[in-house]
Amino acid sequence: MNLGNVFRDFLYGLNLKRVLKNLPDTVLIVESDGRISWVNDKATTVFESGRRLLKSYHFDDLVDKGREKIEKSIATRTPIIAGAFTPTAKEFFIELNAKSYRGSYIVTIRDITAMTNVLTNAEQTSQFNKEKNAMLVKLANEIKSPISSIVGFSQALLDGMGGEITEKQDKYVKIINKNSNDLLTFMDKLIEFSYAESTLYEYDYQTFDIINSIQNIIRANDFAVSNKGLTVNFDYEEVAKRAIFSDEKTLKTIIQNLFETSIKLTDTGSISFRIFYPEPEMIKGMKVFDNFKENSLMQISISDTGIGLQETEMDGLFEPYNQLDKTNKKNIVRSISLGTANILARRLHGVVWAESEVMKGTTFNIIIPIEKDFALKHE
Q: Residues 107, 127: one domain?
A: no
Q: Report yes or no on 32 lying in a domain.
A: yes
- Number of structural domains, the chain? 3
Q: Residues 369, 220: one domain?
A: yes
- For 301-369, give the DSSP string: EEEE-S----HHHHTTTT-HHHHTTSS--TTHHHHHHHHHHHHHHHHTT-EEEEEEETTTEEEEEEEEE
SS3 106: strand
Helices (H) and strands (E) in the chain, counts: 18, 12
Q: Residues 266, 346: one domain?
A: yes
Domain coverage including residue 170: 122-197
**CATH number assigned to the domain comprising residue 12:** 3.30.450.20
Q: Report yes or no on 116 lying in a domain.
A: no
Distance (Å, rounded) from C-alpha 115 to C-alpha 19?
26
Considering 152, 179, 197, which residue would you say is the last residue of a domain? 197
Q: Residues 220, 191: one domain?
A: no
Distance (Å, rounded) from C-alpha 86 to C-alpha 61?
9
Q: Report yes or no on 148 lying in a domain.
A: yes
CA atoms within 13 A on the CB side of 365: 22
The predicted pLDDT at position 373 comes to 72
**CATH number assigned to the domain comprising residue 326:** 3.30.565.10
The predicted pLDDT at position 165 comes to 87
In sequence order, what are the residues at sequence separation of 6 or more whose Cβ sits closer than 8 angstroms to the Cβ of residue 18? 282, 355
Q: Residues 334, 286: one domain?
A: yes
The predicted pLDDT at position 287 comes to 55
Average pLDDT per 10 consecutive residues for the chain, totaling 379 residues = 47 58 84 92 91 92 94 90 90 90 88 63 54 68 83 89 87 91 87 84 90 95 95 91 90 96 95 91 63 82 94 85 66 89 91 92 94 63
Q: Report yes or no on 218 lying in a domain.
A: yes
In sequence order, what are the residues at sequence separation of 6 or more whose Cβ sits closer than 8 angstroms to the Cβ of residue 32? 103, 104, 105
Q: Residues 214, 270: one domain?
A: yes
Considering 87, 111, 135, which residue would you say is the last residue of a domain? 111
The predicted pLDDT at position 1 comes to 41
The predicted pLDDT at position 134 comes to 67
Q: Residues 146, 269: one domain?
A: no
Considering 197, 231, 256, which residue would you say is the last residue of a domain? 197
Q: Residues 212, 296: one domain?
A: yes
In sequence order, what are the residues at sequence separation of 6 or more whose Cβ sits closer than 8 angstroms to the Cβ of residue 93? 81, 82, 83, 84, 111, 112, 113, 116, 118, 122
Q: Residues 159, 175: one domain?
A: yes
Buried-exposed string 150-172: b where 16+ CB fall within 10 A, e elsewhere: bbebbbebbeeeeeeeeeeeeee
Q: Residues 329, 363: one domain?
A: yes
List, in sequence order, every residue forming a beta bridge with 16; answer none if it has no partner: none
List, in sequence order, every residue forming a beta bridge with 275; answer none if it has no partner: 300
Q: Residues 367, 220: one domain?
A: yes
Q: Report yes or no on 127 lying in a domain.
A: yes
Q: Residues 12, 128: one domain?
A: no
Q: Report yes or no on 117 lying in a domain.
A: no
Q: Report yes or no on 45 lying in a domain.
A: yes
Report long-range pairs for 111-118 (Cβ below 8 Å, ≥24 apart).
111/26, 111/46, 111/319, 111/322, 112/81, 112/321, 114/321, 114/322, 114/324, 114/325, 115/321, 118/92, 118/93
